[in-house]
Structure 1
Amino acid sequence: MGILNDRVVIITGAGGGLGAAHARVFAAEGACVLVNDINREAAQKVVDEIIASGGRAVANSSDITSYSDSENAVKQAIETWGALHVVLNNAGVNRDRMFASMTEAEWDTIMSVHLKGHFCISSHAVHYWRDQSKTGNPIAARIINTTSGAGLQGSIGQSNYAAAKGGIAALTLNQAAELGRYGITANAVAPAARTGMTTAVEAMAQRMASPTDGSFDYWAPENVSSLLAWLASEQASDVTGRVFEAEGGKISIADGWRTTEGVDKGQRWLPGEVAEAMTQLLANEKPAQKVYGS
């Protein structure tokens, strides 16, 4: 049927936007999809669309920010289809504000939904996969996380979102390094696509509007879904610990922080001498990409 034939997948935040696109593409490739969304009606609508198209899906409304409730998503997938192969952490919200005006609640909401939300279901899934691995069952499991360009280079007015998405990228690297022994890969994708979140601003909505002339729909969320579907497949067993960017027809690897050659005195730099080292460092620096909006 496709590259995900009989693979059991949990997709969070799949009641709309990117998550719904992922769910439809995964199901079309043969996956059994647990459509998770806190909005049960939205999740069921996506499930009904998938089933009407001949796919397999069930709805789930577990709260991904609750460690105990999120376990029910894992249990439901296993009870429904007898296995679990992929967790795609997609759910997210925005609480945009300039840092000087940001409230504690706006900060905490983003950390809870994005960073903790990426931990909860994945943790329960990893416990299941680790137990399976220890009993000798072959594991070809996948964790796919959703980061953002904001997390990779910053974004004016989104310090909470950027911090959470940067944390997700670092989490992915750790997961890949720690979980490979159990047959689990971990990768992250920074998507750029037309969703309710990205088109909330009128200027962005106009920029990302669907073409009316039949040309390539550059901002269609399904463009991103194809990369995720491949990462979820057994073909991607050798790819782990990567952060990808997907936009339109372009797929790229985000080249992360790297230690440079530096300036080594061989002994302690005195405070008054650091300026000398800094002059050399900045002269040889390859500047980071600019923060979005700066």
Structure 2
Amino acid sequence: MSTHPNDAGSLLESSVDDGVLTLTLNSPSDGNALNVAMTEALSKALEQINDRRDVHCVLLRSSSAHFCTGGNVKDMQSGSDLMSGSVEEVRDRLHRSLHRITRALSGFDVPSVCAVNGAAVGAGCDLALMCDIRVASTKAVFAESFLRLGLVSGIGGSWFLARIVGYARALELTLTSEFIDAEAALGLGIVSKVVPEDALDIDARSLAKRIAQNPPTALRMAKRLVREAADASLATTLEMAASVQAILLCGREHKEAVGRFLEQQAAKKRAHM
């Protein structure tokens, strides 16, 4: 396992093990709020990932009882938040700060897994939605709670939510600011699995490691194909699939994978003789 220090100290912890880069939000005193410091630390870490060939999957988690409680309401009131200043300043700051997180996470070549414990609300809910796969503990709660503060999602959460749960349910969750528990999130497809709190890290890491074990080039291309196919026509998807498959069929990874498969099959046959 290798650990990479972070410029923001302990706000965000980073380590790599078996191809899985684990990013841990570590500001329990404010619920891992996406304040200026956390936003900068997370943005920097996320923006480096596509260039790292040692990373095959990203696991985003927290070290505390909550995943991320969104923006810090006290900072909003005091005027020290990302959303202080004139309309023009706030709009520009959103593009240059929080939107960096959105662009980086949505632009990952590698898959991402999010382990959600406790609250994932407001921008924290959006942060979880930006990941490819979410695993929740039984204590997880989710909410698009912006309207409670007279706001909307300023970092693109509506785009992700509608694609995960559908237009009508996305609108319902947004307009009611309803808090939903892990089981309700499972029913809506927001999370793929709910596990006991003490099993969350083990289960999420296991999933991330299983993903990371795949041939790295094929893994990145498989994610890209699924992502692009979500908004493409069948004809376009078939063209992309043919191009990607041709590249992989002619590549070293495929030939090595076939060789390993045949060796394993031969070993199984010998074991039963």
> TM-score, normalised on structure 2?
0.29
By percentage of residues, which structure has more helix? 2
